[in-house]
Structure 1
Amino acid sequence: MNSDQNQKSNQYQKQDQNEPKQTSGVIINLQNETEVQNYCQQVKNGEIQSTSVQLNKNIKILNLSEQYLQIFDEQILSQLQLLEKLNLSSNQLTKMPDSLNKMQRLKVLDIRFNLINSINGMQYLIGLQRLNLIGNQISNIDCLANLVGLKTLFISQNKISNIDCLENLVGLQDLFINENQISNIDCLANLVGLQKLLINENQISNIDCLENLVGLQDLFIYENQISNIDCLANLVGLKKLLINDNEISNIDCLANLVGLQKLLINDNKISNIDCLANLVGLEYLDVSGNYISNIDCLANLVGLQTLLISKNKISNIDCLENLVGLQTLLISQNKISNIDCLENLVALQTLFINDNKISNIDCLENLVGLQNLEASGNQISNIDCLENLVGLQTLLISQNKISNIDCLENLVGLQKLEASGNQISNIDCLANLVDLQKLEASGNQISNIDCLANLVGLQKLLISQNKISNIDCLENLVGLQKLEASGNQISNIDCLANLVDLQKLEASGNQISNIDCLANLVGLQKLLISQNKISNIDCLENLVGLQKLEASGNQISNIDCLANLVGLQKLLISQNKISNIDCLANLVGLQKLLISQNKISNIDCLANLVGLEYLQINDNKISNIDCLENLVGLQKLEASGNQISNIDCLANLVGLQKLLISQNKISNIDCLANLVDLQKLEASGNQISNIDCLANLVGLEYLDVSGNQISNIDCLENLVDLKELNISQNQIRSLHKIKEITLLALLYANNNQIRDISGLIEQLFQQVCGRRLIELRGLFYVINFVETKQCQACQYFHFANNQQNSRNRLQPFNRQITIFVFNIYQNILFVFQITLFIFINVCVPSYVILFTNMRFITLWTQMISFARTHISAITLFAADTLRTYFCIYMIVFICFYYWFFNWAYWLVTTFNFSWCSFNFIFCQIYFHLINYAFNIIRYFNFFIFWMQQFHQRKPINQYYLHKINKHPCGPTSTSSWKLNIFVSWSIINSFIIIIVVTNYFRLFSGNTTRTYKFLQLTGLFHKF
């Protein structure tokens, strides 16, 4: 500002001092841009209230940016008819100045970063060539349709969804409409003069309209919903193309864009990039985050300076050996094991090879220009090759197998070293690395850190999970801002007393008993000292800057010193000996408070902590929680293991997402009816008998009400989002009402009185290959018929110890496949399991037998895979008598099978009988035996059921009989004459089997044809 301007400014100030309030008759003369700026600022501050302003009308450029103006003095613009450039950016204007409408000569208008939501009236600025409206709240731009002279238009970061008004602005060269809500850009088809187009971060899915914009040089369309880019094939003038973060899978159209210099196609669905082979002009290429496995096409792109191919499926990078111009190479998160091809890339400055399978990096020894090397997450054990890379500034070698880092002693330029998760025990080589600002060496075997004493430039030091017992060497590192030393053997931290710049200190899991040295560390923001031997924390009373304090698992009994720490946001002091927390009453900024496992009985002091979002008061002696009723911001509350009997105070906490109130004395939870945001509820071990209030909590994903007195769970039928449900140890009899819970993954219902699991059982094996565990210990009184599809995601069932009854009834299903589920006689039935598996591979039977047994569940999944699409129901035979009968039958059957095989083998070897014919007859007989077994079982079970009903003198359930009649395993009727027919047919089958077996020798002594014809005549094997 020149002397005249200073004089004028002083004149305003002097005038304001002498006359605090100006009259309307005073005229202020503004001769130049600076004086206008000063005037506007003084009006804003209330220093000048004049309504009469006289301007130099020849002003052509006016910059009033960053003045925090909320309103604009219309007098100023009304007099500046010759103004050509106006900058009102970075203010707080909410509307356009009306006087702008008359400024016909205005060519450049910049009103970015304001609060403007309407630009009506701008249609009169027909002389505008450049318009910047970035960062406002504009939703409608129709008024721009007439501004045909516009060459540059910036309307990014607004709320615009429609840009049809731009179709006539054929003179546009640069158009920035990114970060809006635009889904359709067809109106751009005629803007053939466009050179730069930014439409990124919108909702665009179709860009076919761009195919004629052959003049485009820069095109940014990233972060949209685009899947097809074939329209870009003709845009041969493109130099920069950013199409990352879309849904593109094919980029063959880019083959002809030989002028491309920068191409970003990362984070798409691309698997093939061969089309890039001819783009020899590329300097920057990013194909990260795709499905690429082959990059041989890059071998000719010798002009590449930056190549990013991380997060793909690449295993071979030999094609990179000729790209000697590469300066930046990122090949992280692939399947690369060999990087020898990099040894000639001497221009490399930045190399990221982390998260691969690399074990040898000797090829890097000649890359003396390397400044940044990231090699974490590999299998590297030797890094001696790095000793000559004196230019290294950043070295990241965490999560490897490195035990020796002596080679680093000459890398005096290192500023950042991360070597966590290795096997390092000695770090003396770091003593000379005086430029180090960050050292991360957690998770090693380090016991001595004296070498760090001279590293006065250290700002961040992470040495957790080691074997360090002494940290006295840190006392001179006064520049330290962050120190993490958890999980060591440290007992004394007095050396930290002078580290006044410390902002974060982690020392949990040590043997510290005294922390008085922290009294002067007033800059501390985060302090983590859990799991130590601390009993006194009075030294913390002056650390008013603390935002987070973790001191759980100590021996603290008094926390009165925390009363002044009003800046605390997170306080974790669980597992101590605290009985009084009244000092917390003023910590209104607390967002997270964990005080579990103490001796607290009164929490009334929490009533004013309205900012609390997470409160944990588990395992105390609390009986009253009425003080929580005003904590409407609470999202998670854990109050298990107390003596609480009344929770009515929770009725207003509508923001609760997780509520844990197990192991209390609660009998009524009706107050929870309105907590519609609840996602997790644990209320086990209480005295609850009614849970009808949960009917409206449709957002629940986890529910545990085990160990209560609940008998009815019908209210759960609407909780379709439930993924885990625990209703064990109640008085529940039926699960029918939860049949619509299709997302259920874990279900615990043991120790109830369940008689009906019709809501679950049909789907038990419907997707058997996806199950982890199926446990059905105990018996069920009745299994009802299931006709719905539910619980398709269920992975764990637990029904142990439910009501047993020796007269268990069979309820078959109208399906093709019947599955028998047992849990005993596993050893006896093992041989038959294997035999059955072999048989299923020979011919596909009508029925499948499964003996549920966790050791052979894999075998079952293989057996059932061929028929998964047909499985829709399960029949459970649970009667003890049936089990016994069936096992006896299996033993007999196995003996018969053994005898038959030996007899048949003797027959074949003695008479040179054809193995082919033998196999055929063997399969015929085997199939018939299986069919016979199922006939016997189904008649036997029906007989048991009929006798059951007769013995109890109850009428046969007609619904049950109807289902049996329709079932292929059941009889067509229950009338006595039909039953006799079925029984008779079974007896006849038995005789026929005996006849066939006993006469085989005689039959085989004749010719084979006669035998085969006899078998055909019997009609036994027509199904085969």
Structure 2
Amino acid sequence: MLHHLVFLLGMSLVAKEIFATSCCSQGQNALCYFCNLTEVPHVPKDTVVLLLSFNKIRQVNASSFPLLEQLQILEIGTQFVFPVTIGKAAFRNLPNLRMLDLGDNKILNLDPDAFVELSNVHTLRLYHNSLEESILEEDYLRDMISLEYLDLSGNKIKSLRPHRLFYHLKSLQIVNLKNNHISTLCEGNLDSFQGKFFILFILNSNKFYYTTSMDWAKCGNPFKNIALDTLDLGGNGWDADIMQHFCTAVNGTSIVFLKLSSHIMGPGFGFKNLKDPDNHTFAGLARSGVRLLDISHGYIFSLNPYVFQSLGDLELLNLHYNKINQIQKQAFFGLRNLGTLNLSYNILGELYDYTFEGLQNVMHIDLQQNHIGVIAGNSFRDLTRLKMVDLRDNAIKTLPSFPAMITLHLSDNKLVSVGNQRIHATTFLNLERNRLDNLGDLYMLLQVPDVQYILLRQNRLSYCVKSVDVIENNQLVYLDLGENMLKLVWDRGLCLDVFRALSKLEVLHLNNNYLTTLPQDIFSGLTSLNRLNLASNLLSYLSPGVFPESLKTLNMSENQLLSPALELFMTLSVLDITNNRFFCDCTLNTWTAWLNQTNVTLAGSENDTYCLLPPVFTRVPLSSVALDGCNEDELQKPLQFSLFIFTSVTLIIFLTAVIIFSHFRGTCFVWYKTIKGALLKERKQAIDTSAYKYDAYLCYSNRDFEWVQNSLLKHLDSQYSEKNRFTLCFEERDFLPGEEQITNIRDAIWNSRKTICIVTRQFLKDGWCVEAFNFAQSRYFCDLKDVLIMVVVGSLSQYQLMKYKPIRVFAQRSQYMQWPEDHQDVDWFLNNLSHQILKEKKVKKKSSVLEMQTVRTIS
């Protein structure tokens, strides 16, 4: 039984070793994160990097590592068990180790001889290990003569008095003591560091000088005889008094970059409990040669006069994330060498003419994330070396005046127009996310001769009123007009020449502009265009030749392309057509073949370039669509047959309708009148009987009376039928007996609205009829009204009619009516005749001026 237990225990240890080894990546770099290791695993002898963090290794001793002469980087941090113990000479078999990371082990127990024989280590990380000041005060690091970087942040060090062994660590340049509990640092504490030059010395977030009874005169200069490139003392919560005492204490110490961020100088907004720094606060730094000063993340409300007067060597001043609302006159006095000023994330509301006085050499000013709404006209006037101004995310409504510079950021403001304010020699102009709605402002911005980059994304460009044209030979290479409403501009035919003079433009963004079409020749002037962004529009069709030949990169994603012309994309290098609405029928066959063999780089995933229609191909990638049997002739046969059927049916219907109408046009006319009366409830036009006794006088030959009575009177005269609407006058009924014939004819003509002459062969032979025709024409010239209606009945030729002068004169000025030969046209003719009776037609009076003629006298 015992030998079975021994066997099982041995097998478990072997399995554990096998699984642990398999968790680690093989090769010269052994990554063994999260492998549940409880001891250092066996690795190849040529391992260079060994990473053992995130395991459960409790102890490392002299036997943990075999001889690994090539190992240079070792990481045993963040173990999930604690304490972690590092025994005597634990790393003696790692003679060429360069970096040792034992950080974040919560509790780390170090043997005094743990780091012996590590003469080549240049980086030692011991952060977050609950180490106390003994790690520095004793000789743990005596053999690390090559040490350059020591990280002891996040421990429990309360005092700082390094062991004298640090005299011999000549290479030490970076010390990180952030987040410890060091309360005091005075002269003599760092004697072991004297004579050294530190690239970075971090004492951030300790508890320096919290004691109110601090004797500054006795404390002295803790950095005496020490030179510092960067000294980080931020996060210690110093007010203006402590800041002044410290600056006085380090008088004369060489410090290039002094970080004093996360302080409590200043009262903030609405308070007066703490004072702002004044002209004495930084006076002690006058001989320190400080070139970079960071006093960000505080509560400074007002920059008082001469506050920085002692910092004549300062090149960068960082004041962001304070509560600065006021900049007094002469606040920047003495900063003759300042090149960069950061005032971002404050609460400045306005800039005055005196705001930047004394900054004659400043090149970069960061004013983003303030509340600036008003800028005086001369605020930047004397800043002749200014290259960049960042005014993003303020409340500026009017474009201020700027001197010549390279970069101007005005995004996220409230600009509604650029007006006529001139910007001099600006290369980069950012006006994104403002309230510009006139595309004509772009013409004004293009008057700047040196501008190369213009950003107008996320404005409201929706109309165009321009006062100037784009200057020739401009230098613009980048233009962003994305996320506007250019569709409203171009659909009205406005500003179609906006790109015509931009011959050097290389990049153009027109995405998210609701474009449904591209105006013809809109890109004709862009001879250098290399990249075009038309994404997220509503484009469904692209006309051939719309893109310039120089175009190499095109983004057409998220449009509504159905079957774009392939030749548009043949010359491109990069194409994005993802998330469109492709209709995958046989017309797209050449497209799918091209996609599978083209050298053009297709952006995005193949799965995002898919068919939307027909349903059988929905969401199928274009490259995977199989369109078999797409012969062009076969494809056109159904269309040709459909067109033949449609044309034939249409022609047959048309001919049938013509034949039916020609044979039954009379019936059709009756139906038309019946339907029109029923639907429109047409009312008969009332006849004015006050002016005339009769509606019409029928003039005809006595021999034609029977025909006239049957064909006209029975259908028109009201005495023949109640359905008839006209009161007609004719000889047999209405002429007075015994009266002269000529008198009856004259009275009938003048008492009737119209005279209807029924011209037949008998009419032409009847002298009284011809005389009546003459009387009717005489009334035409007297009343200047077309009162004569001539109806020709029978087969009278034009020649027979024209032999009679009265008829010839009438035919030259008016049209006569012909009685229809087909009986089914009679109703239509009677209807037309009724309209002629009621129709009033005025005749223009001819000039009465007569040409005088010479009368020859006969003797």
TM-score by length of 2: 0.44
Higher relative contact order (CA 8 A, sep 6+): 2
Structure with more of its chain in helix, by fraction: 1
The TM-score with structure 1 as length reference comes to: 0.38
